[in-house]
Chains A and B, each alone.
Chain A
Amino acid sequence: MVYVVLVVLWGEALPAVAGKNLNYKLGSYGMMHTRVREASQVGDVDVLILGASDAYRGFDTRIFEQTGYKTFNLGSSSQSPLQTRWLLHRYLDALKPEIVIYTVTPFVMCSDGVESSLDLIANEHIDLGTLNMTLRVKNVKPLNTFIYGSYRQTFGLDDAFTEPKETDEDLYIPGGYVQKKIADYNENFKAVLGGEDLKYNERQVDAFFEIIRTLNDKGIKIYLVKTPVAHYDAYNHPLWLAIEKQLKETAPYFNFNLPPLGFADSLHFSDQYHLNQAGVVKFNQLLIDSLLK
């Protein structure tokens, strides 16, 4: 009890920088606050997009709508299978998709799930399901954030918050897509896959297969997709090759990095992991032509 009180006091009294393991940020990087509120009102959809930032920055719902597919993009920052499972549990029955497109990266399979859980705790409605997801992450940071978030939501302290739909860099598009306004390729934002100490997180792998089972049980068609990245050669890592092999055995898997698709760094990317709008248009049309049509 003393612990709970101290977390609340700390969150209220001290600047964010002083609360190392308390990270409650409303309206975070991927505009999740707006997205989840829209998700609860949008109704039935044809296509549901799931995944990390490559999902919410890579699938323009307007392009899907133009070809007759009502689409909702439920991607979120660093969304790992632990959070995807929770989001599905919360929104699957409301959205009733016929098709799910689920983006996969080696990072989320190895992720501890902390960053994404913080995003969801701060921007979603907190309930027992949130507590369950928080505990499964097994990290004190989401737990502190959950305690503080519960307090704020209980006393309605965030009710007046409205997330801006447009920032200097991003524009929120109804349906959950976030369009990057800057088209230039930022070469400095680079990470080499082999340079990181990648290791399977068993909890993420278990959650991933549970997601596939859930979708299969409900008769929902699922496509696993690797979105284009600027330096796919960096993905030549034994772990990613092993993950890919497993993905192919699990569900229809499409890798949009293989030749001759012709995505070019300066033309189609804003950084190593994300497409710019020109890239998104090209990628989405390719995807719709090859998968949905």
Chain B
Amino acid sequence: MIFNSIEFTVFFSVFFFLYWFIFQRSLRLQNVLLLVGSYFFYAWWDWRFLALIIAGSLINYWLGIAIHSTNDAVKRKRLLWLGVLYGLGGLLFFKYCNFFIESFVAAFTLLGVKMNASTLDIIVPLGISFYTFRTLSYLIDIRNGKSEPTKDWIAFFTYVSFFPTFISGPIDRARTFIPQMMQQRIFRYEEARLGMQQILWGLFKKLVIADNLSTITAYAFNGYEELPGSMLLIGAFSFAIEVYADFSGYSDMAIGFSRLLGFSVTKNFDFPYFAQNIADFWRKWHISLTSWLTEYVFTPLTIAFRDWGQWGIIAAIIINMMVCGFWHGANWTFIVFGLLQGLYFIPIILRGKLNKKKKMVKGQLLPTWKELLAMLSTFTLIAITDVLFRCDNITQAIGYYKHLFSPTLLSNPILSHSFILTLVLTLLFFVAEWIGREHDFALANVGFRWPRVLRWGYYSVLLFLIGMYMNTSETPFIYFKF
């Protein structure tokens, strides 16, 4: 049941009606409905893992209370470790077990030792990386005294499994989400309207931009051995934009659906391709993950390495980015991707500009040449590195780079009509993003004060553009596999 499916539309319509018209009188009942709806949503994917979610919620709920109720620092630490081991253990088993077995065998083969080890036939539970991080932050925050555990098990269980954000985030913290579960929620028309607009824009990004670009990306990455470097460059750019439109489109929909249910969820993207350096980019990309990693990985590491000066920060950022890469998947490509991203930070750190936020070009119709150059070079660097993100293995990535940086890079790429149409749509998409860059999402401010007829006309035009230009073959969300 993906957001852009008929099944989800029916599910959400029924849910919305029950939520606001039948269960609205009692907060408790509304919360129970949220939990049941979330479990139903998950069971639709794979009911077998529901027990895993419930067990995980139960253990973390109990651990949260246990950590808070003891003053014994050692015991608190042990209880936290129990939670971390449980969470990361599950993640390591389901997501990374085969990677470790294969890497272990490969390492021994390199040393000339032949090993016979078979990988396990494991199905990765959907959303495991996201809900594990949710529960981990809950326990760490309690241990660090940043928040208190909730005694309302329904609120906690819903926090873990809240269906709009369950599969691919944003990764909300308990300290911002659970208080919303405790307050009577009121239906606000303005908020719902904004939610609907954001869903519509998310759909456009996913169905029109990401799914159409996926054809160009697939063409380049599947045939890289025969294609000229210029086409591979377009393929790399195409994938960078595809992954952004795909994931930010999903996030927009998740945030939009949450808004319709009266919840405020963490913003996940802040127009990252208008960033002017790599640090700026990572502040704007997958914000809920990067802020999680900053708080629970990078900051503790910088404290641990504080005696090493700037090199301590560099070490911390490289480790942090490698964790970030590895979080995405059990593959060396992601680790190398993270390592490179970490290395890109070195010049910024050495110039002492890590914490200096580049101001988004505000109020101007066009950026200055300097700003434009900074944006383009950051985007190019990201796009070239994203090749690793898209390739199945390091060998393929090296092959892609070899063919990309060849004399054919300067040749004319051969583009079909449909490719050109997709590129035109992508260009228009960036224009819309540029115009709306000072808002929550590109269209947040469009039609805000228009009469209803005009506003509905504008929604219809957007719907029409989706209907006319969406890719009609089903393309799954990229981040679902993470």
Contacts and interface: CB of A to CB of B under 8 A. Distances in A.
B365 interface: no
B225 to A, nearest CB: 17
A160 interface: no
Contact of B418 (A10, A20, A139): A20
A144 interface: yes
A197 B468 CA distance: 26
Contacts of B467: 3, 7, 21, 140, 143-144
A20 to B, nearest CB: 5
B468 A2 contact: no
A20 B460 contact: no
Contacts of A268: none
Contacts of B6: 138
A6 B464 contact: yes
A2 B421 contact: no
B292 interface: no
B469 A21 contact: yes
Contacts of B461: 2, 6
Interface residues of A, number: 20
Nearest to B458: A2
A292 to B, nearest CB: 41
A140 B470 contact: yes
Contacts of A144: 467-468
A258 interface: no
Given A18-B421, A20-B418, A2 B460 contact: yes
Interface string B465-479: 001111011000000
Nearest to B422: A20
Contacts of B418: 20
Interface string B101-136: 000000000000000000000000000000000000
A51 to B, nearest CB: 24
Contacts, number: 43
Nearest to B208: A20
A19 interface: yes
A22 B418 CA distance: 13
Give the interface size bracket for B toward A: 10 to 19
Interface string B447-467: 000000000110011011001
B465 to A, nearest CB: 9
B203 to A, nearest CB: 12
Contacts of A139: 472
Contacts of B464: 2-3, 6-7
A17 B468 contact: no
A141 B472 contact: yes
A21 B464 CA distance: 10
Contacts of B463: 3
Summarize A's interface: helix, strand, loop or mixed: helix
Interface in B252-310: none
Nearest to A6: B464
Contacts of A2: 456-457, 460-461, 464
B417 interface: yes
B214 to A, nearest CB: 14
Interface string B16-36: 000000000000000000000
Contacts of A225: none
Interface in B415-437: 417-418, 421
A140 B421 contact: no
A141 B473 CA distance: 10
Contacts of B470: 21, 140
A114 interface: yes
Nearest to B468: A21
A20 B469 contact: yes
A138 B473 CA distance: 11
Contacts of A143: 467
A191 to B, nearest CB: 16
Contacts of A112: 473
A197 B457 CA distance: 40
A21 B472 contact: yes
Contacts of A141: 472
Contacts of B457: 2
Nearest to B466: A140
Contacts of A19: 468
Contacts of A138: 6
A128 B418 CA distance: 32
Interface in A130-145: 138-141, 143-144
A26 B13 CA distance: 39
Contacts of B469: 20-21
Contacts of B421: 17-18, 20
A10 B468 contact: yes
Nearest to B469: A20
Interface string A50-90: 00000000000000000000000000000000000000000
Contacts of A6: 460-461, 464, 468
B468 A22 contact: yes
17 contacts: A2-B457, A2-B460, A3-B464, A6-B461, A7-B464, A7-B468, A17-B421, A20-B418, A20-B468, A21-B467, A21-B469, A112-B473, A139-B472, A140-B467, A141-B472, A143-B467, A144-B468
Given A3-B460, A140-B470, 20 more contacts: A2-B456, A2-B460, A2-B464, A3-B463, A6-B460, A6-B461, A6-B468, A18-B421, A19-B468, A20-B421, A20-B469, A21-B467, A21-B470, A21-B472, A112-B473, A114-B472, A139-B472, A140-B472, A141-B472, A143-B467
